[in-house]
A and B are shown apart, each in its own frame.
Chain A
Amino acid sequence: MSNLVIPNELVAPLFVPSTFANRASVEGMLARLRKDYPLSKAEVPGYDPHWIVTKYNDVREVSRLDDIFHSGDRSKTVVSQVAEQMMRDYSGGQPHIFRTLVHMDKPDHTAYRDVTKDTFMPQNIAKLEGSIRETVRRYIEKMEKFGNEMDFATEISMLLPLEVICTLIGLPKEDHPMMLRLTQWFLSYADPDLCRPGSNITDPEQQIKTWQIVYDEFKNYYGAVIKDRQGCPRHDIASIIANGKVNGCPMDERSMISYFVIASTAGHDTTAATIANGMWTLAKDPELLTRLQADPSLIPGFVEECIRWTCPAVAFVRSAAQDYELSGRQIKKGDLLYISYLSANRDEEIFEDAHVFKADRKPNRHIGFSYGSHICVGQHLARLELRVFWEEIIPRLKTLSMAGEGKWQDSEFVCGPKYVPIRYEFN
């Protein structure tokens, strides 16, 4: 059995958003944890102890056993003891500011997920392909008009999935920039370029204050949308949520606002990250672009590898509701577990050449959308957007290269590239 407690100098950076701006460093750290400290404990001052779960099979087991490893009893992300207490103070005793699907356990999780589940089933998402393809073509036209250089992250990848999900929710186009801004304040709260203006990102309490501000902003905005859709339902997701019943009853306010929050944030941010990182990967590998152009049947595999490679939902926290033996370790009731999807998707014992991007990787059972009943409800929409985008742009690209250094966000929770400068020519 390997060491039980991980040295702080190795594990403490995992809890710090700025660490994730250096992707190579993070991946090196996770590789060392998998090798020397698989399923060991972090005892970082200021934080409750966490089991650090880095191996693919362990991450899948914890994710799947959601009756044992709860999502709703403690903070879903790594927060300091001070920050978690603040969340309880703000939310009337709850360990979260938001109460999204991510923060729920059975039976509520199942009941709330059922409200939108059918909408996101693959056979229903497939009907959107035509409209998504039209949207993608507009963004490619924008690239053509832009010239030969752009920051692809800001100009394309952050906007395209935003437009897709906001349109499906039923929001007018003039409100999409606000949704992007609130998403970044929420998920990239510690990134100096994307955080809420005026927030002090070195102050851990600011994270919670920012989340409360974001919650209030969403509540103010969606209050009117909910009233409108309850009075006059339309064919949009806003109407489904606003009129959604849970066990025959209307949702409580915090759960309904949070439902809109998860749709308006996770519904585009993770797809944006995956598109951006895919472009970054292609821009550094002209041979890969040539292969995809010669054989477009590789594109679905390219999409799956982009998801594994990017893994924008880096990690979540679960808490043990009962004692459990996991890979020979005794997990005690109440223990916290940091489960790293990014690490699982680089597990050398599961993925051959795990640190190599392979568009033709097969099988590729990554868990970039998580695993178990909490698996991303929007996964089929994300896959469709990614596939259509690459099907449309790959044949058009005559040349592609980086026009500068790309940059990752400072974010330990949901993380993607924030800057992908490219130089390109179209056929």
Chain B
Amino acid sequence: MSHQEYKKWQCATCGEIYDEELGAPDEGIAPGTRFEDIPDTWMCPNCGASKSDFAIYVG
């Protein structure tokens, strides 16, 4: 089974990046957590925007 690459997601409001590989341990999100597995009630830890405000990061 091939390993799917980790992705990065960016908050459209403040630019905060969620990196699936790193997770967000300070927010209780373990490293390796896919963005789609984060609860829908999760908010951007930097600005409080909703999860739906994140989009795939284009660096």
Contacts and interface: CB of A to CB of B under 8 A. Distances in A.
Nearest to A123: B59
B13 A375 contact: yes
A372 B46 CA distance: 8
Interface in B34-51: 43, 45-49
B26 interface: yes
B23 to A, nearest CB: 13
B33 to A, nearest CB: 17
The dominant DSSP class at the B interface is loop
A365 B28 CA distance: 14
A365 B45 contact: yes
A375 B26 contact: no
A373 B26 contact: no
Interface string A111-146: 000000000111100000000000000000000000
A122 B26 contact: no
B32 interface: no
A373 B49 contact: yes
Contact of B47 (A121, A363, A373): A373
Contacts of A340: none
A375 B15 CA distance: 11
Nearest to B10: A121
A111 to B, nearest CB: 14
A372 B47 contact: yes
For chain A, the bracket of interface size reads 10 to 19
A143 B14 CA distance: 34
Contacts of B17: 122
Contacts of B58: 123
Given A123-B59, A363-B26, A365-B26, A371 B47 contact: yes
A64 interface: yes
Contacts of B14: 375, 379
A193 B45 CA distance: 39
Interface in A320-373: 362-363, 365, 371-373
A373 B15 contact: no
A380 B15 contact: yes
Contact of B48 (A64, A121, A122, A380): A64
A63 interface: yes
B39 to A, nearest CB: 17
Given A123-B59, A363-B26, A365-B26, A371 B15 contact: no
Nearest to A364: B26
Contacts of A380: 15
Interface string A184-210: 000000000000000000000000000
A423 interface: no
Interface in B4-23: 10, 13-15, 17
A60 interface: yes
Interface in A360-401: 362-363, 365, 371-373, 375, 379-380
B59 A375 contact: no
A375 B49 CA distance: 10
Nearest to A124: B15
Contacts of A363: 26
Contacts of A365: 26, 45
Contact of A371 (B10, B26, B48, B59): B48
Interface in A58-83: 60, 63-64
B59 A63 contact: no
Contacts of A373: 13, 47, 49
B15 A122 contact: yes
Contacts of A122: 15, 17
A63 B57 CA distance: 26
Contacts of A379: 14-15
Contacts of A372: 47-48
B26 A63 contact: no
A365 B47 CA distance: 10
Interface of A: 60, 63-64, 120-123, 362-363, 365, 371-373, 375, 379-380
21 contacts: A63-B48, A64-B47, A64-B48, A120-B15, A121-B10, A122-B15, A123-B57, A123-B59, A362-B26, A363-B26, A371-B47, A372-B47, A372-B48, A373-B13, A373-B47, A373-B49, A375-B13, A375-B46, A375-B47, A379-B15, A380-B15
Q: Which 3 A-B pairs have the closest CB atoms?
A: A363-B26, A64-B48, A375-B47
